[in-house]
Amino acid sequence: MDGGDRSDDPGCRGLRFPWDAPPAEGEATEVAEGVLWARLPLPMALDHVNVFFLRDGDGWAMVDTGFDTKRTRAILEGLMAGPLDGLPIVRVLVTHHHPDHVGLAGWLMERGAELLTTRTAWLMARMLTLDEQARPTPETLEFCRRYGMDAAVLAARAEERPFNFADIVAPLPVGFTRIKAGDRIDLGGRTWDVHTGDGHAAEHAVLYEVGGDLVLGGDQLLPGISPNLGLYPTEPGGDPVGDWMASCARLAPLAREDHLVLPGHKTPYTGLPARMRSLRENHVHALDRLHAHLAEAPRTGGECFAPLFKRPVNEKTYGLAFFEAAAHLNRLWLTGRASREDRGDGVWLWRAT
Ligand SMILES: [Zn+2]
């Protein structure tokens, strides 16, 4: 899952932010003709998600949705009655399956909206919403142990209800409209080329306006914070960092100076070509720092936060940091820059090679 995103990165060189203040709760800012920007609250360190509304036929197309909570429903109803002029949300584009983006999609579908997203996002969101767990699965606990989760943290987690999609994502009715890389679609009175990225979330949709300058960037193209790349028990042999690098290589040539990126968090910005470089370089440098950290001494995954995160990891950010450290260790291992061996108690010890 995505609880939010990792620490601020310095990669804002060359970026410009046309709006220095975000819209207040319940209000919307017009960022392009017929395109409104609003925010919904998140109960985490990263305390908001951006949503966008595009005038679409007899109503609005909404891009991403926030968590499903009483408070976000009330804010959205207020937006519909106010800035959206009482017109319905007829389509919802979900950029990726994370709960802060898909949370209210099912609720809007129940009210007649069409859901557009990628097949992977749809399958992941629906699977995870149905897969309710009262306690972490044995596979999850085994994964966390192997990757060196702090023993006290692990013991506490074993006895707690884990984060569940179902707690903050409305049930998703069957029946969605698939979008995929290479498609050209109409949405909100504009035409868009669909591309996809991976690493933060598999098959994350990124839409580039045809004959215009808007980009719907979701969490693939965030400014100011480096998107969280986590390795999870769902796919323990995965390579989210490698997937991220490949996506950056694929998407970088599409970036233009005059693109106005509408991102999933923080504020809309221009300067995408420079941003594409730092989105990749942040992780190249993180891998190098991690490699140097392992060259000093063999470490467990839980001992690898310092080279990856500028700020001390606390209880609130432990999970994000842990799964992100696992992703970077896997990348070093898969590219032959690190080896791992069982320490003797089922915990991997990682060494630089
Ligand atoms: Zn996300």
Q: What average pLDDT is seen over the chain?
A: 94
Residue 239 CB coordination number (10 Å): 20
Cα(35)–Cα(20) distance, integer angstroms = 17
Domains in the chain with CATH codes: 29-133+163-292 (3.60.15.10)
Evaluate if pTM is beyond 0.75: yes
Give 227 Cα–ligand 1 centroid separation in angstroms: 7
Give 2 Cα–ligand 1 centroid separation in angstroms: 5
Cα(289)–Cα(40) distance, integer angstroms = 35
Give pLDDT tens digits for 203-245: 999 999 999 999 999 999 999 888 999 999 999 999 999 999 9
Cα(260)–Cα(164) distance, integer angstroms = 34
Give 165 Cα–ligand 1 centroid separation in angstroms: 13
Identity of residue 249: A
Give 287 Cα–ligand 1 centroid separation in angstroms: 21
Residue 5: partners with Cβ closer than 8 Å, 6 or more residues away: 46, 219, 222, 225, 226, 227, 228, 265, 320
User: In the chain, where do the E strands start and end?
Assistant: 29-32, 35-41, 48-56, 59-63, 89-93, 114-117, 177-178, 184-187, 190-197, 204-209, 214-218, 260-263, 338-342, 348-352
Give 298 Cα–ligand 1 centroid separation in angstroms: 32
Residue 12: pLDDT over 80: no
Residue 8: pLDDT over 70: no
Residue 149: pLDDT over 70: yes
Kindly write down the DSSP assignment for every residue of 156-222, as one continuous string. HHHTSPPP-HHHHS----S--EE--TT-EEEETTEEEEEEEE-SSSTTEEEEEETTS-EEEEETTT-
Give 200 Cα–ligand 1 centroid separation in angstroms: 6
User: In 94-173, where do the E strands start and end?
Assistant: 114-117
Residue 225: DSSP 8-state = B
pLDDT of residue 14: 78
Cα(76)–Cα(104) distance, integer angstroms = 10
Give 169 Cα–ligand 1 centroid separation in angstroms: 14
Residues whose beta carbons lie less than 5 angstroms from ion ligand 1: 2, 98, 219
Give pLDDT tens digits for 279-321: 999 999 999 999 999 999 999 999 999 999 988 899 888 999 9
Q: What is the arithmetic mean of pLDDT over 63-80?
A: 98
